[in-house]
Amino acid sequence: MIWVDREVKKILERNNKLEWVDDMKTPSGRIHVGSLRGVVIHDLVYRALLENDKDTKFTYVIEDHDPMDAIPSYLDYDKWEPYAGKQLFKIPSPEPGFANFGEFYGKEFIKVFESINCHPEIIWMSEVYKSGRMNDVVRTALDKVEQIREIYLRITKVKKANDWYPLNVVCEKCGKIGTTSVHKWDGEFVYYKCNLEMVAWAEGCGNEGKVSPFNGNAKMPWRIEWPAKWKVIGVTIEGGGKDHMSAGGSFDMAKVVCEEVFNHPAPFPLGYEFFIIGGKKMSSSKGVGTSAKEAANILPADMLRFLLVRTPIERALDFNPFGEAIPNLFDDYDRCFTAYFAKLESKVPDGKQGEVIEDFARIAELSQVRPLPTVRMYLPRFRTIVNLLKTRTNILEFFEKQKGSALNGYERELLEERIIYAEGYIKTYAENADKIELLESLPDGLALSQTQKAFLRKLSEELKKIKNEDRDQIQEIVFSILKQNNLQAKDVFKAFYQILIGKEFGPKASDLILEFGIKTVIGRIDKVFEDKSEEEPEKPDTKFPMITDSALFSIGDEVKSKFSSITVGVAIIKGVTIGKTPPELQAEIDSFLELQGALTTEQISTYPEIKSYRKLYKETGVDWHSRRPSPEALLRRIALKKGLYSINSCVDAYNLIVMTHRISVGAFDLDKINLPTMLRFAKEGEEIHLLGDAEPTMYKAGELAYFDQVGGYNIDFNYRDSKRSVVTETTKDLLINTEGVFDISPKQVEKVLQETIDIIVKYCGGTVEQVGIVTET
When the beta carbons of 174 and 357 are compared against Zn ion, the nearer one is 174
Angle between helix 518-530 and helix 489-501 axes, rounded to 10 deg: 100
Cβ 206 to Zn ion shortest distance, Å: 7
When the beta carbons of 57 and 193 are compared against Zn ion, the nearer one is 193
Sign of torsion over alpha carbons 264, 270, 274, 275: negative
Residues in contact with Zn ion by CB under 5 A are 171, 173-174, 194, 204-205, 207
When the beta carbons of 171 and 357 are compared against Zn ion, the nearer one is 171
> Which strands form 567-574's sheet, in the order they lie side by side?
664-669, 734-740, 567-574, 767-775
Cβ 67 to Zn ion shortest distance, Å: 12
Cβ 173 to Zn ion shortest distance, Å: 5
Cβ 177 to Zn ion shortest distance, Å: 9
Cβ 175 to Zn ion shortest distance, Å: 7
Q: Is 354 helix (H, G, I), strand (E, B) or coil?
A: helix
When the beta carbons of 42 and 193 are compared against Zn ion, the nearer one is 193
When the beta carbons of 178 and 300 are compared against Zn ion, the nearer one is 178
Q: CB–CB of 654/760 below 8 Å?
A: yes
Pairing of strands 168-169, 218-219: antiparallel
* Helix spans in 667-745 (H): none
When the beta carbons of 205 and 768 are compared against Zn ion, the nearer one is 205
Q: Is 32 helix (H, G, I), strand (E, B) or coil?
A: strand
When the beta carbons of 202 and 492 are compared against Zn ion, the nearer one is 202
CA distances from 327 to 227, 298, 369, 505, 766 (A): 43, 12, 19, 14, 45
Please state, in angstroms and rounded to a whole number, the distance separating the CA atoms of residues 474 and 468.
10
Cβ 306 to Zn ion shortest distance, Å: 48
Give exposure, 693-704, as e/b (b: 16+ Cβ within 10 Å): eeeeeebbeebb
CA distances from 195 to 37, 163, 198, 211, 518 (A): 37, 15, 5, 16, 78
Q: CB–CB of 749/569 below 8 Å?
A: yes
Please state, in angstroms and rounded to a whole number, the distance separating the CA atoms of residues 251 and 24.
13
When the beta carbons of 190 and 771 are compared against Zn ion, the nearer one is 190
Cβ 204 to Zn ion shortest distance, Å: 5
Cβ 195 to Zn ion shortest distance, Å: 9
Q: Is 564 helix (H, G, I), strand (E, B) or coil?
A: coil
Q: CB–CB of 616/704 below 8 Å?
A: yes
Cβ 80 to Zn ion shortest distance, Å: 18
Please state, in angstroms and rounded to a whole number, the distance separating the CA atoms of residues 165 and 184.
7
What residues are paired with 268 via a beta bridge? 237
When the beta carbons of 193 and 310 are compared against Zn ion, the nearer one is 193
Cβ 193 to Zn ion shortest distance, Å: 9
When the beta carbons of 209 and 582 are compared against Zn ion, the nearer one is 209
Q: Which helix (H) or strand (E) holds 739?
A: strand 734-740
**Of 269, 195, 185, the residue nearest 226 (C-alpha):** 269
